[in-house]
């Protein structure tokens, strides 16, 4: 049986992930899931290894005050992913959390394929990060068509999937 670990870091990522996974469950019903997710993934019957609220902090001060909790959750997440041994690690948005976890997982087990949904805006800020991402993300799903040219130029495998808000308006 194929296994997918879904990694989100905030409620909006949980909602985006649940939209993708609900469609995947129809196409491929025999996949085992585990996650760091919230209410949306939970409504699909997908267990989270801990409550998403334990890593959702807004603002620099809040993050700083909880840095040790966050680091412990990153370590626990990496350990649980390795133990689950998924075929795919599907990370969604929240790059400071999800990409940090994905990088560590890939270093431990290079056989786990990594797919990231919602490309980090590296063309605007922290542009040097794209070279690093290339080393541990196998595929990026893009919200905006203009991102494709950028990630193609960087030789990062990607697919334009569109933005869910724009889809609902058409």
pLDDT: is 5 or 151 the higher one? 5
Which residues are 142's β-sheet partners?
160
Nearest in space to 36 (alpha carbons), one of 74, 72, 16, 6: 6
pLDDT at 65: 80
pTM: 0.91
pLDDT at 126: 62
Q: Which helix (H) or strand (E) holds 92?
A: strand 88-92
Q: What does the buried/exposed string (b/e) look like for 88-121 if buried means 16 or more CB atoms within 10 Å of the residue's CB? A: bbbbbbbbebbbbbbbbbbeeeeebebbbbbbbe
Residue 110 has pLDDT above 70, yes or no: yes
The CA distance from 2 to 37, in Å, is 19
pLDDT at 125: 60
Residue 170 has pLDDT above 50, yes or no: no
Of the ranges 18-27, 47-56, 127-136, which one carries the lowest mean pLDDT score? Answer: 127-136
Distance of CA 150 to CAs 30, 129, 147, Å?
35, 13, 5
pLDDT at 54: 84
| 59-91: pLDDT as tens digits | 878 877 878 888 999 999 999 999 999 999 999
- Across the range 135-157, mean pLDDT stands at 93
Average pLDDT, the chain: 91
The CA distance from 156 to 74, in Å, is 25
| 118-144: pLDDT as tens digits | 988 765 566 777 888 999 999 999 999
State the fold for domain 2-169.
Rossmann fold (3.40.50)
- Across the range 134-161, mean pLDDT stands at 93
pLDDT at 92: 97
Residue 105 has pLDDT above 50, yes or no: yes
């Amino acid at each position: 049986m194929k296994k997918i670990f879904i990694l989100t870091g905030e409620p909006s990522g949980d909602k985006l992930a649940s939209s993708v996974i609900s469609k995947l469950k129809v196409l491929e019903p025999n996949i085992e899931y585990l996650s760091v997710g919230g209410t949306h993934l939970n409504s699909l019957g997908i267990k989270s290894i801990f409550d998403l609220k334990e890593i959702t902090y807004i603002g620099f001060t809040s993050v700083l005050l909880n840095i040790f909790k966050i680091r412990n959750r990153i370590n626990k997440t990496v350990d649980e992913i390795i133990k689950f041994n998924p075929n795919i690690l599907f990370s969604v948005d929240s790059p400071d959390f999800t990409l940090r976890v994905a990088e560590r997982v890939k270093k431990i087990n290079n056989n786990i394929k990594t797919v990231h949904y919602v490309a980090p805006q590296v063309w605007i800020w922290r542009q040097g990060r794209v070279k690093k991402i290339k080393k541990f993300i196998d595929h990026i799903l893009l919200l905006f068509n203009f991102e494709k040219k950028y990630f193609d130029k960087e030789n990062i495998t990607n697919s334009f999937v569109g933005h869910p808000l724009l889809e609902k308006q058409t």
